[in-house]
Chain A
Amino acid sequence: MATETGTVPVEPSANDVVLDVRDLRKTFGSGAATVVAVDGIDLTVHRGETIIISGPSGAGKTTLVTLLGGILTPTSGTVCIGGRDVGAMSAGESAEVRRSKVGFVFQTFGLLDALTARENVEVALNLVGKGGASARRQAESLLTRLGMEQRLHAKPPTLSGGERQRVAIARALMNDPELILADEPTANLDSKQGRQVADILRTLADTYEVAVVIVSHDQRIYDIADRLLWLEDGHLTLPPSSSLEDR
């Protein structure tokens, strides 16, 4: 079983636990063709904490983040967000947890091309049945705080990669989530934009006390993490020293 490790020691209280993963396991296929993607992971993430999970391609990082977000159902183990085990929930119940407690930031941004930047952010509130002028104001306020006040009415195809990711981050924040799950958020960005996005995610954790889990193999952003974890062969471990040499 993997052990929970980190680069920065933290001693938060049990009440601050946002994400609690116990003996998480996910396999695909059956019999001799069984592939173990995630193999007995334990992980606890607290309010205001930023962790980065890195690892080689094919290590199971994306599988892990979809398990943490309640999108994939684990083969065994638990994934508790705000004390509720999303792994044991129905699809509808886990979707409700995603709407209300989790913000997602995707590598490919995950924006709806037909909608403007502001409308993309509003979608998060629309999903919980809210809309109208207050949703518009809230979306504009968040985008302004992220430096997007000049691009409120621009559609995603006309935005730069960094701008798109900021829109995605604003959307992730719309419902005051407890947890932000970011899957390779800087992979499609140049170094300057990647740095900006990483700094924004770190600031969210500090300012809003959101727990931020970033899955990334972008070594340039390792410095924003409170803890850096390494995922390889389905196991979560300390990062090998070689992976930290360029930090």
Chain B
Amino acid sequence: MAVFGVAVSVFLIVLIQSLFMGVRDSFGAMVEELPFDVWVAQDGTYDIERSTSILPGEYTESIADISGVKGAESILGRRVVIGTGDRQNLEFVIAFGSGEVLSQAGAKERATPASGEIVLSSRFARTIGAGTGEPVWIGERSFTIASIVPSSFSVLNMTDAKATFGLGDRINYIGVIVSESADASLVASRIDAKLSDANAIGRGAFADRSRAAIDSFSPVFGILMAVGFIVGASIISLTIYTSTIEKARDFGILKALGATRAYLYRIVTVQAFAVGLCGFALGTPVAYGAAQGIAEIVPEFTTIFNPLYVFGVLGIVLLMSGVSSLLPVHRISRVDPGTVFRA
């Protein structure tokens, strides 16, 4: 029973943690997924999720001339509502300029869907229940799903995107691939120097900034994990405490025989840690399995199981076990060894 209770607690903690990591990772995932070393955005743009960047379209050509730049791609991108039938949801949609730079990077299909077509991410296609060849709508416009690919974003043709987003000749970002011999930060500095109203940001920093958007929710996740911790620690503690009371006579016998406090405490803590570890061993794989199952049904349920974080949960379980043994240990210290002499 105690093992089951701790397993439930571990299940909650692991699931919440992996969900948090999954959601966090999905923010800015498109930045990591694309091969651009440097992202150029309007000055003051912080990240791709919460800031709106608008740049003149001609900036792409002017950047292409900068030393160390191998290629520059115009990008339109924003989160929009895509629907099919009566189902709709938010999806990040990107359109690329010429697509040549991406084609060189081996992403031609994604870069250049034909006019009137859209390449959907498989996760989003599952979310709205759409398949290849079916129509979807964005605003007043309809598109046919050309293909469904594993990705963190969906792709429109640039012409369609301009018409849909209503930006005219303006673009949102410029993706830059630097030469093999060039230093990305140096290239970024050169872009900043040339374009006073633009800001060049390295891929890693831009992705991190985007992921930070979810960090504002981390106190909520933290509270949920704390609840899991308290539930688990309480279950272990109550179980061991009850067992200690039931076995008070046995502890009295051991005290009468000369058992040291350390010996008695070891019995309790070993029990607590055994319960904790069994609960961890049971709860972790169940949480993993549940996450996979839930993701099949609810595609937005993105989870990441990082072995390091799972070890972190193991640490939490060990802490839980240690904390939960304090109360029973206190109870043992009050057991009277003289009770064993009473008939």
Contact B259 A62 (CB under 8 A): no
Does B193 lie at the interface of the complex (its beta carbon under 8 Å from any beta carbon of A)? no
A92 to B341, CA, bound (A): 20
- The answer to whether B341 and A65 touch across the interface, beta carbons within 8 angstroms, is yes
- CB <8 Å contact, A110 and B258: no
CB atoms of A104 and B256 under 8 A apart: yes
Asked whether, in the complex, the Cβ of A95 is within 8 Å of the Cβ of B258, the reply is yes
In the assembled complex, B250 has its CB within 8 A of some CB on chain A: yes
A102 proximity list for chain B (CB < 8 A): 258
Q: In the complex, which residues of chain B have a beta carbon less than 8 angstroms from the beta carbon of A223?
A: none
Stretch of A37-45, A66-74, A230-238 contacting B (4+ beta carbons < 8 Å): A66-74
Chain A residues closer than 8 Å to B258, beta-carbon distance: 95-100, 102, 127
Determine whether the beta carbon of A112 is less than 8 Å from that of B250.
yes
Is B257 a contact partner of A127 (Cβ separation < 8 A)?
yes
Q: Is the CB of A71 within 8 A of B256?
A: yes
B254 within 8 A of A: yes
Across the interface, name the chain B residue whose C-beta is closest to A94.
B258
Size category of the binding interface on chain A: 20 to 34
Residue in B closest to A65 when the chains form the complex, CB atoms: B341
B255/A95 in contact, CB under 8 A: yes
A106 partner residues in chain B, CB cutoff 8 A: 253, 256, 340-341
Q: Does B44 lie at the interface of the complex (its beta carbon under 8 Å from any beta carbon of A)?
A: no
A66 to B260 alpha-carbon distance, docked (Å): 17
A203 part of interface (Cβ distance < 8 Å): no
Q: How far is the CB of B266 from chain A (nearest CB, A)?
A: 11
Residues of B contacting A112 in the complex (Cβ-Cβ under 8 angstroms): 250, 253-254
Closest to A101 in B: B258
Q: Which residues of A contact B340 (CB under 8 A)?
A: 106, 108, 110
Residues of A close to B254: CB separation below 8 A: 112, 123, 127
Answer whether residue B139 sits at the interface, using C-beta atoms and an 8 A cutoff.
no
Q: Are B261 and A92 in contact (CB under 8 A)?
A: yes
Confirm or deny: A49 has a beta carbon within 8 angstroms of a beta carbon on chain B.
Answer: no
Asked if B337 is at the interface of the complex by the 8 Å CB criterion, the answer is yes
Task: Flag if A98 contacts B256 (CB, 8 Å).
Answer: yes
Given contacts A110-B253, A127-B254, contact A62 B260 (CB under 8 A): no
- The answer to whether the Cβ of A170 comes within 8 Å of any Cβ in the partner chain is no
Across the interface, name the chain A residue whose C-beta is closest to B263: A127
Whole-angstrom distance between the alpha carbons of A90 and B261 in the complex?
Answer: 13
Chain B residues, CB < 8 A from A99:
257-259
Q: Could you say which of B261, B337, B341 contacts A107, with CB atoms under 8 Å apart?
A: B341
Given contacts A110-B253, A112-B253, A123-B254, contact A92 B343 (CB under 8 A): no
Query: What are 19 of the A-B contact pairs (CB < 8 Å)?
Result: A66-B341, A71-B256, A95-B260, A99-B259, A102-B258, A104-B256, A106-B253, A106-B256, A107-B341, A107-B343, A108-B340, A110-B340, A111-B253, A113-B250, A123-B254, A127-B254, A127-B258, A127-B263, A171-B257
Residue ranges of A at the interface with B (Cβ–Cβ < 8 Å): 62, 65-66, 69, 71-72, 92, 95-100, 102, 104, 106-108, 110-114, 123-124, 126-127, 171, 183-184, 187-188
Q: 9 shortest A-B CB distances, which residue pairs?
A: A99-B258, A98-B258, A95-B258, A110-B253, A62-B341, A110-B340, A112-B250, A71-B337, A107-B343
Given contacts A69-B256, A98-B256, A99-B258, 5 further A-B contacts (CB under 8 A): A62-B341, A95-B258, A95-B260, A107-B343, A127-B258
